């Protein structure tokens, strides 16, 4: 899911100028490519569809009201996602009695690499791409992503789900590109460990002599 797959920075700037000049209805088109990324970001934070949807509406209203503050030095999508993220974090702070989003120390570089060793497989057969279409896999991955510690989930969300680049992810989260890479690496390994048992189930059966299953 790439926010604004076909809209160039120039096209975006042009539409924003038109909206600010009074063609307000164009705002609908401007944000359409970002609707999904904003919902997913907020769902990851709030864990509840209704709350995520309400927060998404509030976030887009803030985007609209602050549109004159947008400076072309960031990508529009990055700016919008940051606003949505702040909206979600604000709501979490209000809910602070609920412990689902514990604040965690910044562990980059401290934890030994050994804590992030991938699941090793001795009888791995390549999973055919069609198998990745299976719903069970998606559900398992969705749960695994939601269960990641927040600092890792954030990075996965922006890099692998929203498909932002390293620099945009770093800017959105206010961390260095190096931290983005370290966290992404660890997150992907954690997800690999969770998903491998399920993935293995979708590998083609091993064939014995004369094509018999073993």
Q: What does the binding site for another protein look like in residue numbers (CB under 8 A)?
A: 1, 24-25, 27-28, 31-32, 35-36, 39-40, 43, 49, 53, 56-57, 60-61, 64, 113, 117-122, 124, 126-127, 129, 132, 137-138, 141-142, 145, 156, 160-161, 163, 166, 181, 184-185, 188-189, 191-192, 195-196, 199
Q: Label residue 70 left, alpha or beta by phi (over 0 means left) and psi (-120 to 50 means alpha).
A: beta
Contact 180, 169 (CB under 8 A): yes
Question: Residue 118 Cβ, how far from another protein at the closest point, in Å?
Answer: 5
Neighbours of 132 (CB within 10 A): 12
Write down the least CB distance from residue 97 to another protein, Å: 26
Work out how close the CB of 79 gets to another protein at its nearest, in angstroms, rounded to a whole number. 17
For another protein, the closer CB: 74 or 195:
195
At its nearest, how many Å lie between another protein and the CB of residue 52? Answer: 8
DSSP 90-154: HHHHHTTTSTTS------TTTS-GGGGPPPP-SS--PPPGGGGG-HHHHHHHHHHHHTS-HHHHH
Cβ nearer to another protein, comparing 113 with 207: 113
Distance from C-alpha of 152 to C-alpha of 106, rounded to nearest angstrom: 10
CB nearer another protein, residue 97 or residue 181: 181
Tokens (6 digits) for 7: 């809209």
Radius of gyration from C-alpha coordinates of the chain: 20
Nearer to another protein, 25 or 213 (CB): 25
- Residue 74 or 203: the one with the smaller Cβ distance to another protein is 203
Q: Which of 134, 115, 127 is nearest to 187 (CA)?
A: 115
Instruction: Choose between 86 and 117: whose C-beta lies nearer to another protein.
Output: 117
Query: Whole-angstrom Cα distance, residue 163 to residue 134?
Result: 22
Distance of closest approach, residue 42 Cβ to another protein, in angstroms: 11
CB of residue 19 to another protein, shortest distance in Å: 9
């Amino acid at each position: 899911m790439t926010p604004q797959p076909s809209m160039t920075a120039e096209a975006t700037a042009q539409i924003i100028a038109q909206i600010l000049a009074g063609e307000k209805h164009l705002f609908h088109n401007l944000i359409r490519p970002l609707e999904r990324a904003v919902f997913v970001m907020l769902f990851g934070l709030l864990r509840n569809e209704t709350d995520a949807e309400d927060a998404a509406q509030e976030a887009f209203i803030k985007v609209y009201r602050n549109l004159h503050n947008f400076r072309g030095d960031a990508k529009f999508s990055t700016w919008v996602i940051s606003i949505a993220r702040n909206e979600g974090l604000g709501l979490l702070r209000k809910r602070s009695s609920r412990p689902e989003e514990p604040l965690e120390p910044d562990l980059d570089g401290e934890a030994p690499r050994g804590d992030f060793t991938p699941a090793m497989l001795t009888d791995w057969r390549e999973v055919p791409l069609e198998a990745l279409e299976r719903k069970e896999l998606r559900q398992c991955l969705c749960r695994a992503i939601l269960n990641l510690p927040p600092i890792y989930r954030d990075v996965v969300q922006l890099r692998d789900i929203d498909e932002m680049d390293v620099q945009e992810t770093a800017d959105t989260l206010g961390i260095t590109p190096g931290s983005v890479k370290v966290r992404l690496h660890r997150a992907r390994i954690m997800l690999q460990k969770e998903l491998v048992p399920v993935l293995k189930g979708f590998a083609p059966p091993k064939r014995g002599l004369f094509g018999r299953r073993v």
